Chain A
């Protein structure tokens, strides 16, 4: 895994990483629920990167635009991208960042750790979308297992 980011990232849309319904970068589910699992910086970074699909973005400017500092090696942005990669949200290969079009819903374990506020919001989102909680839980578990079982399929950070 590369800790040093290239000066520019070419942002492209990668393949979908999950079967079943996913939440896109501007879906309120992302900030309502994924914030607890990923962290606020990661959620807003994922959203921001989607604004640059098809173009190049200077990594220093990206970090600055997210309030992640301007120190030369951009450690906060590097950690943020690694975390997103762990969850299959993106893969950085050299100077290319392949973004997953969306993220799965949270698993039962993630919801347990996220606590009652997020559990309530998750239930509201599913109800609004007409999604069945047991089916979504099964698909989310399958998606999370898939990333762990076949790390080659997961969108990780790859050293350039």
Chain B
């Protein structure tokens, strides 16, 4: 879904605390609070796979989706890395890096053995769209246009985009 949420804004990818080198052996996924104002997309929304992938990379995007499937359960960290195709001696470190990246964009809070997942992630901001290039910008615009037409929303005033709630899931 694309919806609205409290507090916002741009997240400076550089000001976060360094993440842990390794995660605990077991993780518990819980649903946390939404950390954004403005438009948000849910964990199965195609916007994640179309647009967010350019900014945080494919592994964090699919990790966010996967963690949402495991909300309310405790999962073995090794099983989580296997399920994401992270293999090799550094698989745990790569997963920790991936969780850290998600934490930097406020998609989750890493609280040791507990991962507090945001119900959704905001849509991309201008500098992030620049990072993704024209392909991603076009897809971003298409998603917002689709949301507007579905909700029959008027064009947002003063250049501020408003997409309403898509309620869309892939598959």
Contacts and interface: CB of A to CB of B under 8 A. Distances in A.
A121 B61 CA distance: 18
B83 A115 contact: yes
Interface of A: 26-29, 31-32, 35-41, 43-45, 47-48, 51, 57, 61-62, 64-67, 113-118, 121
Given A41-B58, A117-B75, A65 B133 contact: yes
B49 to A, nearest CB: 6
Contact of A38 (B59, B66, B85): B85
Contacts of B16: none
Chain B interface bracket (under 10, 10 to 19, 20 to 34, 35 or more): 35 or more
Chief secondary structure at chain B's binding surface: helix
Nearest to B138: A65
A139 B113 CA distance: 40
Contact of A28 (B44, B54, B79): B44
Contact of B62 (A31, A37, A66, A113): A31
A72 to B, nearest CB: 16
Given A44-B49, A47-B49, A61-B134, A66 B82 contact: no
B71 to A, nearest CB: 13
A45 B133 CA distance: 16
Contacts of A61: 133-135
B9 interface: no
Contact of B132 (A32, A64, A121): A64
Contacts of B61: 40, 44
A57 B170 CA distance: 23
A38 B82 CA distance: 11
A37 B53 contact: no
A118 B134 CA distance: 34
A66 B171 CA distance: 20
B152 interface: no
Most chain B beta-carbon contacts within 10 A, residue among A28, A37, A66, A67: A67
Contacts of A66: 53-54, 58
Contact of B58 (A26, A62, A67, A118): A67
Contacts of B53: 44, 65-67
A118 B62 contact: no
Nearest to A62: B135
B31 to A, nearest CB: 18
B8 interface: no
Interface in B51-97: 53-59, 61-63, 65-66, 69-70, 75-76, 78-80, 82-85
A48 B132 CA distance: 13
Contact of B170 (A28, A39, A118): A28
A32 B65 CA distance: 9
B170 A64 contact: no
A113 B63 CA distance: 18
7 contacts: A31-B49, A36-B85, A39-B58, A40-B57, A43-B58, A61-B134, A115-B79
